[in-house]
């Protein structure tokens, strides 16, 4: 894009797509939903907010359901035996929400693996957890917790088998599938509606002349990613972009997406036939994204979540 329209170079940022794929990461690996490098003597975080009963699922049963479905989608098909096992899981779905919910790991990102991760001074590891229940004050999204660490400070990690996990989640969509990541850095450009009008008009003319799409294929990447630009395709861009209470404009930390590419096929990875469009099996809203913003002044300042 910068070669076609040189003025766009001023609106370029790099981003790192994570490309999650089902796997078995360890505590010292960057991952989606993998075990965390967690100090053995540090309490595991919990959510004590209001947890309204909805379409509740047993987390362990949801993981088992996915195993059964993968078996059914393989060579066996939906046999009576597999249907019976699925029905058994349905019959024991929970009916009440717990008062206290251990947070569920969503991502662990080491700065050595993720070029666009910008940790605070003295830190090199980001851990993202969330409460797998909708929170009304967060536009009915899971409540996210961000923890920055220095890897060398964790000398006695909590064993993966000892790491707490919630027994119940409100939605299976909030139970990520354990994945390894395959980071890929690329260049993005600002969302078209936030560009100067004359530059946006030049892009429109270029699209009409070439048949290419800036919005869908050449500006903001799809999928799980760190850094870069955000898009605003669910609502119009706000008049004031997310701002910290200290007055600083918040910076995009991460996008947690409901799919790795859109219906047009743009941003589709080369291994799409084997990985599928949603390896992490997370769905935000009706197939949207959860954008996490942080303050560039201090990691102690509250982050913001936006669903788009």
Residues belonging to the chain: 308
Quick one: CA torsion of 116, 120, 122, 128, rounded to 10 degrees? -70
Task: Yes or no: say if 57 and 212 are a contact pair by the CB < 8 Å rule.
Answer: no
Residue 192 confidence (pLDDT) above 80: yes
Q: 241 pLDDT band (50/70/90 cuts)?
A: confident
Give this prediction's pTM: 0.94
Whether domain 6-56+94-307 has CATH 2.30.320: yes
Task: Yes or no: say if 180 and 17 are a contact pair by the CB < 8 Å rule.
Answer: no
Instruction: Please give the mean pLDDT across all residues of the chain.
Output: 93
Q: 41 pLDDT band (50/70/90 cuts)?
A: very high
Q: What is the 8-class DSSP label of residue 46?
A: E
Handedness of CA 282, 287, 262, 70 (dihedral sign): positive
Return d(Cα 114, Cα 173) in angstroms, integer. 25
pLDDT in tens, 279-295: 999 999 989 999 999 99
Domain boundaries of the chain, sorted by first residue? 6-56+94-307
Q: 262 pLDDT band (50/70/90 cuts)?
A: confident
Residue 239 confidence (pLDDT) above 80: no
Give the list of residues 6+ apart from residue 144 with CB closer than 8 angstroms, or none.
106, 128, 129, 130, 290, 292, 303, 305
């Amino acid at each position: 894009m910068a070669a076609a329209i040189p003025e766009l170079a001023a609106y370029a940022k790099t981003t790192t797509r994570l490309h999650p794929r089902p796997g078995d990461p360890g505590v010292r690996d960057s991952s989606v939903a993998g075990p965390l490098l967690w100090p053995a003597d540090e309490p595991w975080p919990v959510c004590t907010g209001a947890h309204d009963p909805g379409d509740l699922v047993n987390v362990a049963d949801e993981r088992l359901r996915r195993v059964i479905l993968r078996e059914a989608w393989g060579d066996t098909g939906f046999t009576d035996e597999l249907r019976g096992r699925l029905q058994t899981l349905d019959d024991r779905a929970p009916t009440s929400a717990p008062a206290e919910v251990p947070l569920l790991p969503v991502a662990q990102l080491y700065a050595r693996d993720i070029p666009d991760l910008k940790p605070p001074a003295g830190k090199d590891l980001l851990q993202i957890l969330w409460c797998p229940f909708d929170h009304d004050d967060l536009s009915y999204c899971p409540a996210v917790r961000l923890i920055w660490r220095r890897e060398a400070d964790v000398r006695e990690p909590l064993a993966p088998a000892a790491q707490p996990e919630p027994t119940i989640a409100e939605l299976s969509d909030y139970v990520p599938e354990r994945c390894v990541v395959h980071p890929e850095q690329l260049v993005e450009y600002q969302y078209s509606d936030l560009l100067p009008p004359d530059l946006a008009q030049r892009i429109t003319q270029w699209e009409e002349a070439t048949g290419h799409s800036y919005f869908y294929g050449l500006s903001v990447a799809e999928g799980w990613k760190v850094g870069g630009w955000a898009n605003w395709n669910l609502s119009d861009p706000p008049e004031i972009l997310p701002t910290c209470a200290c007055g600083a404009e918040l910076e995009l930390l991460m996008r947690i997406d409901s799919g790795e590419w859109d219906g047009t096929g743009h941003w589709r990875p080369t291994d799409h036939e084997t990985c599928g469009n949603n390896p992490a099996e997370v769905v935000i809203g009706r197939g949207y994204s959860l954008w996490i913003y942080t303050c560039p002044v201090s990691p102690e300042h509250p982050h913001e979540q936006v669903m788009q």
